[in-house]
A and B are shown apart, each in its own frame.
Chain A
């Protein structure tokens, strides 16, 4: 066997490929149909959002944050608003928190339905795609009725929400939940829990074991599919979520086993559809009367934020996993000093790239779809020399070196020497 010739083929999946919704690149080394190595290249969707953000004031950034991603537009501006509220110590009225829960869960339902359809398309089961996206239209109509837009509904503002949920909306939402409970969910469960084709393709594909999920810090349904009880809404007692009885969903409650494969991730999403509907119902019941925002006008908020000092971190469980926004105040200015976000797709992408090694090429589209990648959220640091026009992508080593230098500069007394975890940031550990 020593002299065996290896006929390895390198296949680029991306930047443009039918399996992908957004530009990203996987360079896959194949031995026949078996995957030997996966290399992830990112940075095709770098739009310099943070750079733009540093030229906008706090209120304007709300609208920019919403446009980071089309699917989780609510999550981004919610998390950003939370970060700013923490920074400026602004109290949010309780009713506003409930409205945030309702819209956030509506968004989760539409995002999960979208992803279930995409997973169906990835295995060539187009009927699932068309029917689940048809069911999704109903929720898009509700979101349009509440926020005035199908995608960017601009619900949040600093210190509350911009739009109230009235009796009419409440009735519409309850009607919708009834429709989903009776018409859509039985079909979704039949497809994703019992259909033989789906089971044949999704079971044991793209397995992320619990250990890998912890090491690579997988987030959201990807982590919960591997059996980690990790949900920011539950772990951090976020907002009014504890009053609504939130619990992380793992596939154990549905199928009794946890394998960490694509099937389990989809089961988690199906479970979260049920959970989101319950949360919305409870939130509608318990929602108190009162104000919906802390400041009557945006310019009042800006005056308050101008005086703010320090920094704030907002965390929220977006449909894809934990989303973190960091805002640092620039006292005396309405423009933040720094605004930075960390998206769930970033750790998930490397976890799934690691999981693909040893699997078949046929599993690539469905495994990638199973983490619901949102590449317009995720970006990498690219440094371009303005004189020569040379582009350099910084790896983990370079970034670590730069941050050690910066730490030394601020506080020369720190002695710790952090080591880079992986050889290169983009590659999968051998």
Chain B
């Protein structure tokens, strides 16, 4: 009975998040267009694009190997699996003791699958895009994980059973500890996470692997038709899931508790409220960031991660650690 419940829940969430994330793509394009004084496409444009791509022929390059065709399916599979471990206003469906780790691994796996697909396509542009993607992947994970685990450590001091689970954020939240050190530290980490989110979804400064004018969409250059549609969907899901992590850590509040709902109604209400929060976070980290910045060189982006964002993360971590160890009370 539990398996049935989980399966139905996952399918429902998959359908809902696909809709919500594609809707966000449309909203994002419209918002950025308005910031650039353009009309922009209709809000439902990503849906039209997706349906059209699905119905189009997929061209396989002569030099591509079998993995080229498998990679999009793997990427979508990984993103659906990711949804099972994503906090969506309530605990993840497959909540376990260590689902934070699984979540991070699955996020990296999607990028990794994209790289495999790109390398298998045999195009030099895709090769360069893949190299850049790997370099970015290696740089962006460190400050994020450092911040994430420190926050979990801080929360575990409040007495949670499963400190490495995403459900922790719905039991306690980091702001309610209330000491000045945690508030400042958490605020610094919020900045780190917003930058990490921008690099995870590759916009603005970090639109380096897919640089349109340099390597012509990088890893995606040889993909077309159904395969491209699958990749587009999987990256939209990834966007939503990564933003969900930021929302769960920093803005976990639900509304159902306040109006006294329970059962399935509360779940749906929390999910919708969570979606709105995800849109708000993505608006800051994606739309605004995309409109006010250009792309960096790969060397500049890597040095930004190691010499700016990592120290920033360290400062936040040190503040939290001082608070945990009680050096200053």
Contact = CB atoms under 8 A, between A and B. Distances in A.
Interface of A: 9-11, 17-19, 30, 32-33, 120-128, 130-131, 134, 197-198, 200-201, 360-365
Contact of B300 (A30, A125, A200, A364): A200
B212 A124 contact: yes
Contacts of A200: 296-297, 300
A30 to B, nearest CB: 8
Contact of A131 (B36, B293, B294, B299): B36
18 contacts: A11-B124, A17-B216, A18-B212, A18-B216, A19-B213, A32-B131, A120-B294, A124-B211, A125-B293, A125-B294, A126-B36, A127-B35, A128-B294, A134-B37, A200-B300, A362-B295, A363-B297, A364-B214
B128 interface: yes
B296 to A, nearest CB: 6
Nearest to B135: A33
A369 to B, nearest CB: 9
Nearest to A191: B294
Given A122-B213, A201-B295, A362-B298, 9 more contacts: A11-B124, A11-B128, A32-B131, A127-B36, A134-B37, A198-B294, A200-B296, A361-B214, A362-B297
B295 A124 contact: yes
B294 A33 contact: no
B61 to A, nearest CB: 15
Contact of B205 (A18, A130, A197, A361): A197
Interface in B115-157: 124-125, 127-128, 131
B214 A130 contact: no
B212 A360 contact: no
B213 A201 contact: no
A127 B295 CA distance: 12
Interface in B188-221: 205, 207-208, 211-216
A140 to B, nearest CB: 16
A33 B302 CA distance: 13
B62 interface: no
Given A19-B213, A124-B294, A130 B127 contact: no
Nearest to A30: B128
Given A11-B128, A18-B212, A19-B213, A131 B298 contact: no
Contacts of A124: 207, 211-213, 294-295
B297 A360 contact: yes
Contacts of A30: 128
B38 interface: yes
Contacts, number: 74
The 4 closest A-B pairs by CB, nearest first: A125-B294, A124-B295, A130-B36, A123-B294
A365 B294 contact: no
Contacts of A361: 128, 214-215
B296 A127 contact: no
Nearest to A11: B124
A365 B124 contact: no
A19 B211 CA distance: 10
B291 interface: yes
Nearest to A359: B297
A334 B36 CA distance: 51
B280 interface: no
Given A10-B124, A130-B37, A200-B300, A123 B295 contact: yes
B130 to A, nearest CB: 12
Interface string B44-57: 00000000000000
A364 B216 CA distance: 13
A124 B35 CA distance: 15
Contacts of A198: 294
A305 B127 CA distance: 60
Contacts of B297: 200-201, 360, 362-363
A364 B292 CA distance: 22
Contact of A360 (B125, B131, B216, B299): B299
A365 B297 CA distance: 12
B36 to A, nearest CB: 4
A33 B211 CA distance: 13
A130 B40 CA distance: 12
Given A120-B294, A201-B295, A9 B124 contact: yes
A19 B214 contact: yes
A36 to B, nearest CB: 14
A125 B292 CA distance: 7
Contacts of A11: 124-125, 128
Nearest to B125: A11
A197 B294 contact: yes
Contact of B296 (A126, A131, A134, A201): A201
A93 to B, nearest CB: 42
Contacts of B294: 120, 123-125, 128, 197-198, 201
Contacts of A121: 213
B37 to A, nearest CB: 5
